[in-house]
Amino acid sequence: MNQKVLLGMSGGVDSSVAAILLKEMGYDVYGVTMKLWESEDDELEGSCCSLSSSLDAKRVCDNLEIPHYTLNLKQQFKESVINNFICEYRNGRTPNPCIECNKYLKFGAMYQKAQELEIDHIATGHYAKTEYSKKYGRYVLRKANNLIKDQSYVLYNIPQYLLERMLFPLGIVESKEETRKIAQKYNLRVANKPDSEDICFIPDGNYKKFLEEKSTLKPIEGNIVNQKGEILGKHTGIYHYTIGQRKGLGISNHVPLYVIGLNKEKNEVMVGEQSELYKKEMLVNNINLLLIDDLKEKLQVFVKTRYSAKEEQAIIEKVDEDLIKVYFEKPVARITPGQSAVFYIEDVVLGGGKII
């Protein structure tokens, strides 16, 4: 009997091709679309939660003759992702909701559903790889063959015990063009569907409007200050700003100024010159380790501080039970509280956590 796999399907080309590849590998595939969010305009293109996306996923499953399920996880999504998103901005931090969604919905609720259905594995259309490593004596998370699309960064908080049950069939695909060619070969109508790049619950990209409409968060004017505490102007609410921002500050200076810090307690936006954006150290908490059980001594790694950031060489050291200090070899710009720091050894994910 073939092993069963529950595949998360958004209606996009990546998860659709993942279904094809899993079938070719000999798995019995069960597609599941998670209903996470319902906006006033449920048909907004680019939203993976729209009705059209769900229908696309079902059509693909029908074409491939595999079962399709829909899971209503709106309440869990609100509690684990939306509320966290609002809370982080309220506290002057910049969250990555996709990482929270992976942790609580894909590796949480979806895995629970697989267990209920007595399904062996779960899978998604992410570009990454899991495999058993003789070198490390455990299952590991590796970068995808397609390094341009590699998404191992947003997967660092998979529970270690789940790695051996996770499948990422797109990890071996060499390019996005190859992914689309596979879809075209099977005559899937989603073959040329554009990628969704916005936050799924904010398809128009206007997160400030979302925060003000979906929470009690309202703009409270405060001071824009430099590191000396000198007042340079007024801001319109700290959640309107993020580390590294240059435009929209409304202040003039003889050299360009950038946001270098947000102080919720004082309701201040701190600005500085470009050189003040760089830091040689940072702290990370909410740690999830995949490659080792505990960080017992200093370790040299490569670190990504944002999904789109390049890797930086660093030394990491455990300084408390759930706290790692990162010492960069060279100063790194735009270290942003709320974003995730992910540690790599070669192409393997060591683990990661939240920047504080």
Q: Measured between alpha carbons, how far is 320 from 356 in angstroms, rounded to an integer?
A: 14
CB 52 within 8 A of CB 59: no
Which of helix, strand or coil describes residue 298?
Answer: coil
Query: What tokens does 152 get?
Result: 């191992």
How many whole angstroms separate alpha carbon 284 and alpha carbon 149?
A: 25
| Helix and strand numbers, DSSP H then E, in the chain | 8, 17
Whole-angstrom Cα distance, residue 320 to residue 309?
A: 27
**Active site positions, annotated:** 101, 200
* Chain-centroid distance, C-alpha 191: 24
Distance CA 8, CA 147 (A): 22
CA distance 99 to 127: 14
Distance separating alpha carbons of residues 268 and 238, to the nearest angstrom: 7
Contacts of 177 (CB under 8 A, 6+ apart): none
For 58-72, give one letter per residue: b (16+ CB within 10 A) or e.
Answer: bbbbebbebebeebe
Please give the full DSSP string across 153-211, using - where no structure is assigned: GGGTTS-GGGGGGEE-GGGG---HHHHHHHHHHTT-TTTTPPPP-S-TT-TT--HHHHH
Residue (of 52, 2, 47) closest to 24 by Cα position: 2
222 token code pair: 């405060």
